[in-house]
Amino acid sequence: MIRVEHLSKHFGPVAVLTDVNAHIRQGEVISIIGPSGTGKSTFLRCLNLLDQPSSGRILIDGQDILAAGVKVAQLRQRMGMVFQSFNLFPHLTALGNLCIGPVQLRGHSRVQAAARGLELLKMVGLAEKAHSLPHELSGGQKQRVAIARCLSMEPEIILFDEPTSALDPTMVGEVLAVIRRLARDGMTLAIVTHEMDFARQVSSRVFYMDQGIIYEEGPPQQIFEAPQQQRTRDFIRRVR
């Protein structure tokens, strides 16, 4: 579904991604782990062109998204993103946050969008919060609304950038439970996370990023129990 070839990204003279090669198949759940500052967020942001890659190729279903004429808005509809900081529209209710994309970008009617929005809120356990504003919700509730909003656009893959890092520890579980459910339902996911137990349980493959590349990748048993590279071993020992 996604193939990344020789991706690099510089910010001015600073090389953040140097040569990233990866693929993600449909239905896979990829966890991306590694020390901070090693380019994990930049990698996700390059995939949906929030950051413009400096060189390399990103193919989605064989189509090069860096080619001229690619519509970024369409690309972002296919690839949803959930951020650490939720990024809900503060002046819209939970349901309003779920309707705006389908109505404005996909031409759905308000009635249709609201019906689907309510279903999605129910799925993340927040039907009773449909008419609450973001500031009336807890962090965990806001993040569940953000995930539901992402789903309202019917993406083919969802990119999560540390979805639980901003949350009070008591709220981490409720958000991870929603992501687990998406994984079980066969959604394609790429998740930057520091939740190692979660990553071990939910992932089909784990990417260990370090120094601007995917240093090691493999099934969770390999990365967590028998890493092949010294740097991976050191990292896993540190975060245990």
Supply the Cα-derived Rg of the chain in whole angstroms.
18
Q: Which is nearer to ligand ADP, 42 or 143 (CB)?
A: 42
Q: Any contact of residue 41 with Mg ion (CB under 5 A)? A: yes
Q: Which is nearer to ligand ADP, 132 or 211 (CB)?
A: 211
Q: Which of residues 40-99 bind ligand ADP (CB under 6 A)?
A: 40-42
Which pair of tokens denotes residue 3? 């193939």
Burial 60-79 (b: 16+ CB within 10 A, else e): beeeebeeeeeeeeebbbbb
Listing DSSP states for 80-128 in one string gives EEE-TT----TTS-HHHHHHHHHHHHH---HHHHHHHHHHHHHHTT-GG
Q: Please choose, out of 30-38, 101-109, 148-156, 173-181, the segment that lies near ligand ADP by the rule CB under 6 A.
A: 30-38
6, 25, 26, 37: which one contacts ligand ADP (CB under 6 A)? 37
Q: Rounded distance, CA 7 to CA 17, Å?
A: 7
Q: Which does 16 bind (CB under 5 to 8 A by kind): ligand ADP, Mg ion, none?
A: ligand ADP
Q: Which is nearer to Mg ion, 96 or 212 (CB)?
A: 212
User: Rule CB under 5 A: which residues touch Mg ion?
Assistant: 40-41
User: Rule CB under 6 A: which residues touch ligand ADP?
Assistant: 11, 14, 16, 36-42
